[in-house]
Amino acid sequence: MLTPQEFVRRWKSSDLIRYEERDVRALEIPEASKRLLIEAGLPPKARLGYYQEASIHVPVLGDTFTGKFPFPPDCAHFRVLLVDWMDFNTGHYEIVRLICLDERTHGQVMAIGPDSNLEMNSLFLNSSIPQYAEFQLVYDEYKIWARKQRQAREDTGRPFTYTQWKAKSHEVRRQLYEIDPSAFINPEGLSESTCEEQLYGIEQNMDCSPE
């Protein structure tokens, strides 16, 4: 299980946001999850037109977001970890997704947002906070690898091949499965195809060429 110290060492950045110890200590989740939130924190993401905000007091979803963001009634007891905001070219940001903890399942990490039919649903992400954090490490390391491939392409003029991307994609899926098999096995979690779609989204500007 990923420790707070290991997470901080591997993340190699100062953008980790720690959560309020008093609020986290009161949660009914494993001690390892509490320690990671308190001693290390989580890395909110940001890109053009999108950012994540850490809810450092891990508030109850139903008490805090009723009337602000639609959510399934059976998720009202969730604790909010991160809030995803997006600007849809309107000049102001709107909440598009929440990352939450479910104390009733010993601290599983869940996402709440629209599904493919634009209906609000909860989606299983990871079995625990340490496993969620380690997933973020793998994704971040993958992004660094992708940037290096893009730079090498620009330097050499040689396109990045589909076979190279496919091999790396397989390696990353294997890493993720070893970290948290439930993320793939759980009916509400990742499938190999959706994982690959996410990874390809990171690569979408790489211009992979056929062999």
Average pLDDT over residues 145-168: 75
In a domain, 190, yes or no: yes
**154: confidence class by pLDDT, cuts 50, 70, 90:** confident
* In contact, 118 and 91? CB cutoff 8 Å: no
In a domain, 144, yes or no: yes
In a domain, 50, yes or no: no
Q: Chain-wide mean pLDDT for the chain?
A: 84
Q: pLDDT for 103-147, tens place per residue?
A: 999 999 999 988 766 678 899 999 999 999 999 999 888 888 878
In a domain, 173, yes or no: yes
In a domain, 68, yes or no: no
4-8, 73-77, 100-104, 161-165: segment of lowest average pLDDT:
161-165
Domain that holds residue 139: 132-203
In a domain, 196, yes or no: yes
In a domain, 30, yes or no: no
In a domain, 140, yes or no: yes
State residue 192's pLDDT score.
54
Specify the number of domains making up the chain: 1
Nearest to 63 by CA among 41, 78, 47, 45: 78
